Amino acid sequence: MSYPQLLTPEEKLADAKKRLSLPRIVAICGSTRFMTEMNEADLRETKAGKIVVKPGSDMKSPHGHWPDPVEAEALKVRLDDLHRAKIRLADEVLVVGDYIGDSTRAEISYARSLAKPVRFTHPEVAPDA
């Protein structure tokens, strides 16, 4: 007797997105110094009919939501976790900017470990595949 194969969480997500007829989802990654460029990429990708997820804040800039450095560091950890969730949700990743720092490099590595296609606005800075 043959039993049906159980779907992985990733397969369940892909199936749900297909059943809902969702457009492709792109996660924008990159240094927050490129927030203006990320907003432009968001506009281009949205215009192309994609759902866009990207960093929601620039933790390097002062803001009333993170005046205390200890609280700011804890918030950064939570936001990094949230961004990895956005990468898991996405069908592809777009890396914005002409500089790749350690955090962005880790995001690229994470996306590739999930077999997500990764595009670059500046392919010359792409780390080796």
What are the pLDDT digits (tens) for 103-123?
999 999 999 999 999 999 999
Instruction: Name which of 29, 121, 113, 38 is nearest 129 in CA terms.
Output: 113
Q: What is the pLDDT of residues 34-71, one digit of tens each?
A: 999 999 999 999 999 999 999 988 777 777 777 788 88
- Tell me which amino acid residue 68 is: D
- In the predicted model, is pLDDT for residue 26 greater than 70? yes
69-89 helix and 102-113 helix, angle to the nearest 10 degrees = 30
The CATH topology of domain 23-125 is: Rossmann fold (3.40.50)
According to the model, what pLDDT value does residue 71 have? 84
Instruction: Using CB atoms within 10 Å of the CB of residue 41, give its burial: 0 to 12 exposed, 13 to 18 middle, 19+ buried.
Output: buried
Q: What is the pLDDT of residues 76-112, one digit of tens each?
A: 889 999 999 999 999 999 999 999 999 999 999 999 9
pLDDT band at residue 129 using 50, 70 and 90 as cut-offs: low
According to the model, what pLDDT value does residue 70 have? 84
Number of other CB atoms surrounding residue 6 within 10 Å: 7
Quote the CA–CA distance of 69 and 66 in Å, as a whole number.
Answer: 7
With residue 51 as reference, give the H or E element that holds it.
Answer: strand 51-53
Delimit the domains of the chain by residue range: 23-125
According to the model, what pLDDT value does residue 7 have? 87
Instruction: Using CB atoms within 10 Å of the CB of residue 73, give its burial: 0 to 12 exposed, 13 to 18 middle, 19+ buried.
Output: exposed
According to the model, what pLDDT value does residue 66 have? 75
